[in-house]
Amino acid sequence: MPKIAVLFCLITCLLVYTGCKTSNSAGKQTTKKTGPVKEKWHWNNPKKQDEVAGYAQVVKVGNTIYVSGIPTKDLSPEGIARVYKALEKCLNAFGASSQNVVKETLYTTDIETVKTNATVRKEFYKGDFPAATWMQVSRLYEAEATLEIDMIAVLAGGNR
C-alpha cells in the first residue's frame, strides 16, 4: 500500500476517533457532532425519551418519523383499535397521520387472531396501505403483551 494511502487512513481514523475536532472563531477546539439531527417525542415527558428503558417513542430525522412499538395484551378489535389510536397520537406529534406511514411492522404471539381482526388495521389506513411485515414471535418486551406495532412515516417533501 502506498505511504500516502496509509497516511490518509491514519488521518481519517484520527478524525473519527477525536470526534472531528475543529477550531472556532476564537481559536478554541470544538467537537463537531456528525450524527443526524433528531427531534423526539415521548408521551408528554419533558426529556422526550424514557431514560429507564432507554428509548424515545418517536424520533424524527429530516422528513422521516420513526415510531417505536405500541404494545397491547388485548387482541380484540377494540384492543387493536386502541393501539392504532396511540400510533396516530405518535404520528400527530409531528403533524403526520396514517396517510404518511410507509412501513409498518407488526409483532404478535397469535398471528391468526390478528389476521381475523385485520379490518381494524384497514380502517386506520383508509385504503392507502403501507409496506408491511407481520410476524409471530414467542414473546414481546412486555411479558403479557400479545401484539406490538411500530411504524415509519414520511412527511411531505420526502420524495425525490
Q: Which DSSP symbol is given to 100?
A: G
Please state whether 43 falls in left (phi above 0), alpha (psi between -120 and 50) or beta. Answer: left
- What does the pLDDT average to over 133-143? 97
Q: Where are the alpha helices (DSSP H) in 3-160?
A: 3-18, 77-92, 111-116, 119-125
Q: What is the pLDDT of residues 16-40, one digit of tens each?
A: 444 444 445 555 665 566 899 999 9
| 13 and 82 part of one domain | no
What does R_g of the chain's alpha carbons equal in angstroms? Answer: 21
| 125 and 60 part of one domain | yes
Is 160 within a domain? no
Is 159 within a domain? no
Which residues constitute the domain of residue 93?
Answer: 39-154
pLDDT for the residue 11: 44
pLDDT for the residue 27: 58
Count of domains forming the chain: 2
Written as nine digits, the cell of 129 is: 396501505
The per-residue pLDDT of the chain, averaged, comes to 85
Q: What is the pLDDT of residues 37-86, one digit of tens each?
A: 999 999 988 999 999 999 999 999 999 999 999 999 999 999 999 999 99
| 5 and 47 part of one domain | no
CATH code: domain of residue 105: 3.30.1330.40
| 30 and 52 part of one domain | no
